[in-house]
Structure 1
């Protein structure tokens, strides 16, 4: 990519009955956003026109047949479909799920072909999107299949980065799913991401315990003693700055998280409840560990306010700017890696 070219940001539109299209259109209604990137929205001109009118959002865009035709300085809408799907704001319909799949598939295809540089995904409904083509708990698992690398669900905001050892699985399956191999894989993915995506030379990572109080030396479950502690010790002996396991309740309550560059939680709610409490509205879901950059806002379809013009685009905007920062950090990382003499000029 030429230095003068703007980063092409591909955007999958998400569930048409939710707030995805609204936050996207509100973000780019401010023309100054085009100074930072070239948006490429995967939907259709007819769908965007309907949403624009229904929500009362003034915005100009141009329709294109494929992402490679996108023009800098304009909002580009790739016509993934020609028909006009029925929009029922606030309803979880099979039709909306089908079009969210079509948008996502087209965006990921363009990402793999380098027609776009990064991908920002608007929220989907994890139930109505299920089909023979999409049988995943969410975006992260689908992208892990489609793109090269070892994926890590990484929630990020200013000064707080939380990854997960396990993501969309039942709580009853968590302890069994956390093995030494999984821990090593996720720590490696987080370390690499912190170096490559966030310009942190020597990342310091905290692991949260699986059981309450990290098992209290085996009194409340043996997983922390038998799995987490030996693996953390092994990783530390090999040079990784990995610490823990820490009791999750006091770790966040005492601001302990501020001493670390990244945190690995044992399971979904253990990491995401404190993250969203501390960063909601400004948090970003980043799929780390993959060859391509993908981010998403930290909220869902918000059916309860869909179509009412009340959606706050703040988290989507954060997801967009995070994708741009990460992409540029990766480009710099590649250059520095190619010229080791410049490594000393990197961040901390």
Structure 2
């Protein structure tokens, strides 16, 4: 199985966590054929060497490598080039799986890529696809209807059509009935605390008509405390879903992009500069991402 890994920010924890897994857990990782973007000197510095199933495919740099925990212009260039090189590798072998290590969004913009992270970039190159951020920890599945937008814009960006598409994708990926979070406190209390749930209820009717069992809208403040993993949760905005999800499954979950022409997975955390280079970062989320990739065949 071919797996392309985009290097992410070399000053963050992503590359060191990948190197740690390859040096300590190679037994199960040996099932894949990995192509790593990013400077070969970075991977060698982290203790890796090319071997059967592990190939360095990135651009070399001829300056001192970025230091852990210190974002810099060279690091911005490396994460940009690493992503572009990964996309070229995916284009040459569309049956590959893409694993992306964390990037720094502001550094990515400074490198000339005006996108708020990976998902926005993928939406720009696949404009005819709806790409939805989903997260998985074991049998628990979550997807977001909206993601990287200011909270004040969420109500105006929610539409029944968007909710239906996200719900269909989540149901297809998880194979589970859906439970949909309300937008307002207490899911609006029949319009007393907001009208959005009443306006969006046609989306739930449409999902049921299309054969997707779902219930909602459900107050999000109690939903996660009593989450039955037989249901997948559709959250309406970023922190509504990811705040409780990460509290429940810290280090045990990964992100999956729904709607892509191939499988793309990633750890569910960022660059964590404060942990970089200290051998303190938890590899659990990256481990889950790699296991998801390897188990997808």
Q: TM-score range by the shorter chain?
A: over 0.9
The equivalent position to 1:280 in structure 2, one of 250, 258, 261, is 250
Instruction: Please tell me whether residue 9 in structure 1 is matched to residue 3 in structure 2.
Output: yes
Secondary structure, counterpart of 2:131 in structure 1:
strand
CA–CA distance in structure 2, aligned partners of residues 12 and 94 of structure 1 = 18
CA–CA distance in structure 2, aligned partners of residues 249 and 236 of structure 1 = 24
The equivalent position to 1:264 in structure 2, one of 234, 238, 241, is 234
The equivalent position to 1:249 in structure 2, one of 216, 221, 237, is 221
Q: 1:113-158 CA distances to partner (integer Å, 9 max, x unpaired)?
A: 2177111111111111114742121111212223463211001111
Match of 1:306 in 2: 276
CA contact (8 A) 2:35 2:55 kept: yes
| C-alpha displacement of 1:289 | 1.3
CA–CA distance in structure 2, aligned partners of residues 214 and 105 of structure 1 = 42
CA–CA distance in structure 1, aligned partners of residues 152 and 115 of structure 2 = 19
CA–CA distance in structure 1, aligned partners of residues 56 and 92 of structure 2 = 18
Match of 2:73 in 1: 94
CA–CA distance in structure 2, aligned partners of residues 324 and 169 of structure 1 = 32
Aligned 1:33-112 pairs, distance under 5 A:
33-50=28-45, 52=46, 58-61=47-50, 73-112=52-91
Match of 1:179 in 2: 159
Q: 1:7-46 CA distances to partner (integer Å, 9 max, x unpaired)?
A: 1111111111111110110111133134311111101221
Match of 2:150 in 1: 170
Aligned 1:10-25 pairs, distance under 5 A:
10-25=4-19
Which has the larger Rg? 1
- Cα 1:302–1:132 change in 2 (3 A) is closer
CA–CA distance in structure 1, aligned partners of residues 88 and 203 of structure 2 = 38
Instruction: Please tell me whether residue 238 in structure 1 is matched to residue 210 in structure 2.
Output: yes
- Cα 1:116–1:99 change in 2 (3 A) is farther
The equivalent position to 2:125 in structure 1, one of 143, 146, 149, is 146
CA contact (8 A) 1:10 1:39 kept: yes
Secondary structure, counterpart of 1:172 in structure 2:
helix
- Cα 1:85–1:108 change in 2 (3 A) is farther
CA–CA distance in structure 2, aligned partners of residues 284 and 257 of structure 1 = 19
CA–CA distance in structure 2, aligned partners of residues 132 and 125 of structure 1 = 11
Instruction: Please tell me whether residue 211 in structure 1 is matched to residue 187 in structure 2.
Output: no
Farther off after superposition, 118-127 or 129-138: 129-138
Match of 1:220 in 2: 193
CA–CA distance in structure 1, aligned partners of residues 180 and 62 of structure 2 = 49
CA–CA distance in structure 2, aligned partners of residues 115 and 38 of structure 1 = 14
CA contact (8 A) 2:76 2:111 kept: no
Instruction: Note the residue ranges of structure 2 that are not aligned, 5 or more in a row.
Output: none
CA–CA distance in structure 2, aligned partners of residues 82 and 258 of structure 1 = 46
